[in-house]
Structure 1
């Protein structure tokens, strides 16, 4: 493969840039971890949000700021935004199954407020994952490589690559197939968003990983992340 000095050459054409295929990357055991699943559902009823806010536990409703009542549950840990139309957004779950289970629990909470909700049209809208490639990444090299690869491609097939550290500290990659977005940081941390299924998330990460493995910053160690200390709870006598 070409080194970075070749990639910045003004006489370089897109055909001279070797495309980084997943098969060229060494076998990797890196698997993105799911961090958040956002889903929607329909309760198929009109709801007086003031009633839900008064009767449900862990409810928050401030109509002047937001037009939905916010409900929270601990198991599975999730948050719901419930609108007067009966539309519901579930967020904070760590898997598709947890999102569906949480949605049904939120529907039961609404039922306890005197309504007869249904649970229809459940759909995962976004899956967010994260991974760590294990080394620091030369972000400007990845950006130039992808831009040069896409020079001769039709506009609707080009992947977006944007890196401006004065605006945002990470490299933003917008993949086309699958349609996911990557936020890549110098530390080697990667956030993946926009996937509709975990298969899309895994496939997208598998395709972008060769670029991240190629542009290693030699001699720069990853920053050590400090573990958050749990606060001790003092029992009251």
Structure 2
């Protein structure tokens, strides 16, 4: 009972007695009732009426509500004017999903491709022990990993070769270099006497980076919380779904990593999509 009286007195002190209130009680002293100017005007938020259950005739207090919150208080049955809380619409422009602009504006940011991952099928089974004994720059530890790792310098790339005849090529800096490296790996294996064919070459992922300006990641996450993930206590970057299949890893200092693209054009489209979004959350 003492706790209930405490909360009743606290709520009563927060309400503005007298004629119907025209200012917000946020910022009032809960003991004396004194306070300064209403912060709602500065925050530009909508105010709503709230009534006490035990004093329906008391004046209303205007409380600020943030955008995107859907709340309904049936405080007074049969009275929609005082019982329903109207808030700002949840579908605000900032919450729209990222989309590729029809006419992208020139921004001057150039992505740098850091890695291209591709695969190719050789069309035959391979003897990895034979390949490891007769080639340079190879690693084969079947007890640790059932694949052979081979490296070349021009173009600089690494191949993971499986016994089934599949080669996974990574480390190239462009799609053309990735295809050229895959053909070199296939040629090295072919010289060892295997009936190699170059079949079904595919690029699965292009990783690119681009330096931007410092950003407010917290505000970006609040605006696009349905399309992003941000846990600064676990990892100091925000993950944003730019377009279908392409994700962006955004750091507070401005570095952005794009992954998931399969062509260079998709990288540029993702960059054109993300630049207008990041510009809104640039640190001054």
Settle same-fold status: TM greater than 0.5. yes
TM-score tier (shorter):
0.7 to 0.9
Give the drift of 1:114: 2.2
Q: Does 1:190 align with 2:259?
A: no
Residue number in structure 2 paired with 1:131: 210
CA contact 1:79–1:90 (8 Å) conserved in 2: yes
Kept in 1, the 8 Å contact 2:104–2:272? The answer is: no
Alpha carbons of structure 1 residues 215 and 66: separation in structure 2 relative to 1, 3 Å? same
**Deviation readout 1:134-164 (Å, 9 max, x if unpaired):** x2000111111123xx6xxxxxxxxx30111
Please report the RMSD computed on the Cα atoms of aligned residues, expressed in angstroms.
2.3
Q: Report the number of matched residues.
A: 202
Change (3 A) 1:164 1:25: farther
5+ unaligned residues in a row in structure 1: which ranges?
A: 151-159, 219-237
Gapped regions of structure 2 (runs ≥ 5): 1-42, 46-64, 70-86
- Quote the Cα distance in structure 2 between the aligned partners of 1:209 and 1:92: 27
Q: Following TM superposition, by how much is the alpha carbon of 1:178 offset from its aligned partner in structure 2, in angstroms?
A: 3.6
Kindly indicate whether the alpha-carbon contact (under 8 Å) linking 1:8 and 1:144 is maintained by their aligned counterparts in 2. Answer: no
Q: Report the TM-score when normalising by structure 1.
A: 0.78
Match of 2:239 in 1: 172
Other-structure match for 2:159: 80
Please give the alpha-carbon distance, in whole angstroms, between the structure 1 residues aligned to 2:104 and 2:141. Answer: 51
CA contact (8 A) 1:34 1:95 kept: yes
The structure showing larger relative contact order (alpha-carbon pairs under 8 Å, at least 6 residues apart) is 1
Q: Any conservation in 2 of the 1:178–1:203 contact (CA below 8 Å)?
A: no
Return the TM-score normalized by structure 2: 0.66
* Distance in 2 of aligned mates of 1:56 and 1:128: 29
Measured in 1, the distance between the counterparts of 2:66 and 2:274 equals 20
Distance in 2 separating the partners of 1:112 and 1:30 = 44
What CA distance in whole angstroms lies between the structure 2 residues aligned with 1:209 and 1:196? 20
How big is each residue's C-alpha offset from its partner over 1:75-111, in whole Å with a ceiling of 9 and x where there is no partner? 0000001100001100000111101100010011112
Matched residues in 1 for 2:107 and 2:192: separation? 50
